Structure 1
Amino acid sequence: MADALDILLSKQACAELVYTLARGLDRCDRDMLLSVFHSDATDDHGGFKGTAAEFVDWVTGLLPSMERTQHLIGNVLIDVKGDHAVGEACFMANHDMTSADGKPIRMIAAGRYLDRFERRDGVWKISHRHAVYDWNANLERTDTWDRSPGSPRVFGERGKGDPLYAHRATLNNG
């Protein structure tokens, strides 16, 4: 039973890393992104290949060219063997941006993240990520919500001003 519990906890820890990386991308949170990788981890995103730290620098330099992003993660499957694991997670990443001719578009990229995880000193982190792309689409953006300061809606934003950070802080205050 102890082995089954360790495998279950290991799978959950690895899945949390996948979700946290997606959160870090959408919030443009460099520290959060770095926290999911081992210091010697690598990344292969097709257009980028290198260390995970270099990937974080590359992607945090690229994301500000987009108004907003949302990475949706699904079908997360993790296989664990001792202190090593491999995972596949489907993603659909929405990127609100401007086309080359100046029109607002939503570029959707979909594919899978193939991750290698290692548990070192009792802590799971990603040792390598490989992004595999399945399809993409560029769509006309039709967002009609009032985004002015007087809007009744609360909108997400990049960085620590996003409502997520205050929401997470309530855990420490309650």
Structure 2
Amino acid sequence: MDQALQELLDRRQIEDVVARYARTLDWLDDDGQASCYWPDAEIDYGFFKGKAADFLPVVMDIERGSDRRWHMLGGLIVKFHSETTASSECYGIFAGARRQEDGSLAGNLYGGRYLDEWEKRAGEQGDEWRISNRLYLVDWQSDLVNQPDFTPNPDFPLPTAQIAESGHPLYRPM
């Protein structure tokens, strides 16, 4: 029973890291994004292959180049190999949009999967799980044209937030 309970706790910690990964990209939280990877993690996104410490400034610059970004990860499956190592796979959808010459917002919608290796090591807050190796695979892409601006639609006025830099007033560290 103790091993099963520990595995549930460890699985929950990994789920939190996956959720934090998406959230910190969208809110442009550099430190939160860094907390998802061990600095020596091997990263392969195709356009970048190397260590996580070198990847973080690259990916955050890409995210800052978008006027709108949105990541959703789900379908996470975790397999534990030991008390300190695991593998996972999850699906991800990412949408990004930039201001076009005509003033409209347009971009792309991507679907892919994250093939991750995990290690539980001593961290700032005790033992913690972080990604130690990541391979990102793109499965499909679709164009997003004529996306809504950052002002509420008068016919259906839902609130909007333009996140252009770190430290947005609505961002709540969690």
User: Which TM-score band (shorter chain)?
Assistant: 0.7 to 0.9
Say if 2:77 is the partner of 1:77. yes
1:155 counterpart letter in structure 2 = A
Say if 2:134 is the partner of 1:129. yes
Q: CA deviation at 1:146?
A: 2.1
Q: 1:153 corresponds to which residue?
A: 159
Q: State whether residues 156 and 162 of structure 1, in contact with CA within 8 Å, keep that contact through their aligned partners in structure 2.
A: no
Residues matched between the structures, number: 165
1:123 counterpart letter in structure 2 = E
Q: CA deviation at 1:59?
A: 0.8
Question: For the residues of structure 2 that align with 1:153 and 1:138, how far apart are their CA atoms?
Answer: 24
Unaligned runs of 5+ in 2: none
1:11 counterpart letter in structure 2 = R
Percent identity between matched residues is 27
Say if 2:19 is the partner of 1:33. no
Unaligned runs of 5+ in 1: 169-174
Q: State whether residues 97 and 107 of structure 1, in contact with CA within 8 Å, keep that contact through their aligned partners in structure 2.
A: no
TM-score (normalizing by structure 2)? 0.84
Q: Secondary structure at the match of 1:165?
A: coil
Alpha carbon RMSD of aligned pairs, Å? 2.4
After TM superposition, the runs of 4+ consecutive aligned structure 1 residues lying more than 3 A away are 98-103
Q: 1:96 corresponds to which residue?
A: 97
Q: State whether residues 106 and 140 of structure 1, in contact with CA within 8 Å, keep that contact through their aligned partners in structure 2.
A: yes
The verdict on how the C-alpha distance between 1:103 and 1:20 changes in structure 2, with shifts beyond 3 A counting, is same
Q: 1:109 corresponds to which residue?
A: 110
Question: For the residues of structure 1 that align with 2:169 and 2:22, how far apart are their CA atoms?
Answer: 15
Question: For the residues of structure 2 that align with 1:87 and 1:11, how far apart are their CA atoms?
Answer: 10
**Deviation string for 1:105-158 (max 9, x for gaps)?**
1301110011110011322111011101100011212315625xxx87252524
Q: Which of the two has greater helix per residue?
A: 1
**Deviation string for 1:10-59 (max 9, x for gaps)?**
11111111111111111111111111111211211111111101111101
TM-score (normalizing by structure 1)? 0.84
Q: 1:86 corresponds to which residue?
A: 87
Q: State whether residues 105 and 148 of structure 2, in contact with CA within 8 Å, keep that contact through their aligned partners in structure 1.
A: no
Q: State whether residues 89 and 115 of structure 2, in contact with CA within 8 Å, keep that contact through their aligned partners in structure 1.
A: yes
Q: CA deviation at 1:95?
A: 0.2
